[in-house]
Structure formats: structure tokens, C-alpha cells
Chains A and B, each alone.
Chain A
């Protein structure tokens, strides 16, 4: 079983649409990170959230940490083809990162 469950696993939408992907767990975490990974490259950090209820914005991306620090969401407004990639959430456990299985996002022009 995965400590972090991401949903959906795959998402394909048209350019300009909005979308939300989720990262859920039954465990409480001290912090949670979102990474984006493009083909042939390693993951790159997008954001770290540390406070329950925290909302962070990165241009058209909005990240939220759940009040109980067990879950997180990533919302993309007006998706663009450049947003295509694998989105990974990762949580801190015993000072090491545990990753979800990822959401593979495809934005069609």
C-alpha cells in the first residue's frame, strides 16, 4: 500500500481548462512537497507547504495543504501544453521523503 495516494493517476485535458490533482494519506506530515518531472529528467521542486490550511500560489498553480496536514491538492488554472508532465507529491517522514505514485498530466493544444 502507498503511504501517499495520488489521484487521478492519469489526466488528459484540453488547453485552457482547469484541473485539480490530489495527494491523500491517513498519516499526518510535518511538511509536503510537490515536484514536477519531465521525460528524461529528474523531479524539480515546485513548492513546499508546512502549515495546515496553507495555500501557496505559483503563477497559475495553486497548492493547498489540508487543515489536518494529511492531504494536499494542486489546482492549475487555464492549463497550457507546457504544464504537461508527471506531478509527484512527497511527504517528510523520519526526515526522509516518501513519494506518491504520481499524476501524469497531458495538456492537449
Chain B
């Protein structure tokens, strides 16, 4: 099983450009998440989805958008890239939203630099 796959692994953007970070999972998980990880700050939840067609904001949603048209895919879009969005982005999925019952499975991340 591939698990959670993120593309691209690295990207450099100019200020004001837009891009979509791709995330797909093959575990038939209903729950999917986007996090950003900044140095010394742990992971912060950007958006999450409890199933196809349903998304909700996390802790730091400003500047991002998501969609969930299928169970497998959960893309994250940056419309107007800003230097503050330089970070490593992780997508995750889980069978349940109860962490005590089911772990979150993470992709290997997308390292994004905005210059």
C-alpha cells in the first residue's frame, strides 16, 4: 500500500503566485487533514475533511482553500502565495476522528518556499 502520497516534494514560488498541493490516500479513510510544520512550532492544523464534500477550518486556515470531491483526494490550494506560507506541509488521513481509536497516517510532506 502506498498510504498517503503528497506531490510535489519541493516547490519554490514567487510572492503572489498560486499553486495546489496534492494529497491522495489509498486506505479508504474518510478523514483527511492538512497541517503545516514550522521550525520549533510543531504541526498546526490548516483544514480537515470528514468525508467527500465536507470540509472545515482548522487552527490556521487563512490564505488556504481545500476541496474534497472524492474520498481519496484532498488538495490544498494557495491562491496568493505570501512569505509567511513558507513551511513544510503534511497531509494525513485516518479511519476515525477519535485519535485514541485510530492513528493518523502522514505523507512525507511538501517543502514550500515563497520568495
A12-20, A55-63, A74-82, A92-100 - the one binding chain B: A92-100
B99 within 8 A of A: yes
Contact indicator A43/B40 (Cβ below 8 Å): no
B92 within 8 A of A: yes
Contact indicator A33/B103 (Cβ below 8 Å): yes
Q: How many angstroms from the CA of A48 to the CA of B103 in the assembled complex? A: 8
Closest-by-CB residue of B relative to A51 is: B100
Q: How many angstroms from the CA of A98 to the CA of B33 in the assembled complex? A: 12
Within 8 A of B (CB), among A26-58: 30-31, 33, 40-45, 48, 50
Main SS of chain B's interface residues?
A: loop
In the bound complex, residues from chain B placing their C-beta under 8 Å from that of A30 are 100
Given A40-B108, A45-B104, A50-B100, 20 more pairs with CB closer than 8 A: A42-B90, A42-B106, A42-B108, A42-B109, A43-B43, A43-B90, A44-B106, A48-B103, A88-B42, A90-B99, A92-B98, A95-B99, A96-B97, A97-B43, A97-B45, A97-B104, A99-B44, A100-B42, A101-B40, A102-B40
